[in-house]
Amino acid sequence: MALYKAFDPKVEVNGETVLGFVNGLGAFKRQALALLKEQGIDDPTPGKWYSQQAWLNGFKMIGEKFGDATLKKIGESVANSAIWPKEIKTIVDALKSIDVAYHMNHRNGKIGNYAFTKIDAETGQMVCSNPYPDQFDLGLIRTVAEKFKPSQATLMVSIDESQSTRTKGAETTTFIIKGLK
């Protein structure tokens, strides 16, 4: 499982997700749309489906051109633009729901996953097995956790440096989330 390489060439991503990505680029939105157009994604539209590989190609070019901070910002934007079911009331429920949302926004083959495990009352971990960059997932996970954290909790989300990451060629990246309680 390589970074920016779809697990299955038939996988598609919906227009809503592509637009969340584009809208996360702020002043660089026009450039992002031009890069996506080069990959065959012209005028992304809600309700339409696009090649995940084409989107990943554009994603990679954005990362190379604008860096990790931009990838993190895109993750934040995707999380902020998502509509969350009313039944999600806790940070644990929200973190578990990332995988559900991921599967709702991709189709036609193996896409990977987000696997959340609660380690103790204060700490959890998210193992990401997908072709997206670590900094994107960091922004996504941190924003979801922040949105649903207990009001008095001090939140910290970080890459587990004791394990290898997708950025360094591993199949997964593990994130540690502190502040569940």
CATH class, domain 87-178, is alpha beta
Segment 57-103, tens digit of pLDDT? 998 998 998 899 999 999 998 888 777 777 898 999 999 999 999 99
Domain ranges across the chain: 12-80, 87-178
Q: Where are the alpha helices (DSSP H) in the chain?
A: 15-23, 29-38, 52-66, 68-81, 91-104, 134-148
- Identify whether the C-beta of residue 126 lies closer than 8 Å to the C-beta of residue 177: yes
pTM for this entry: 0.93
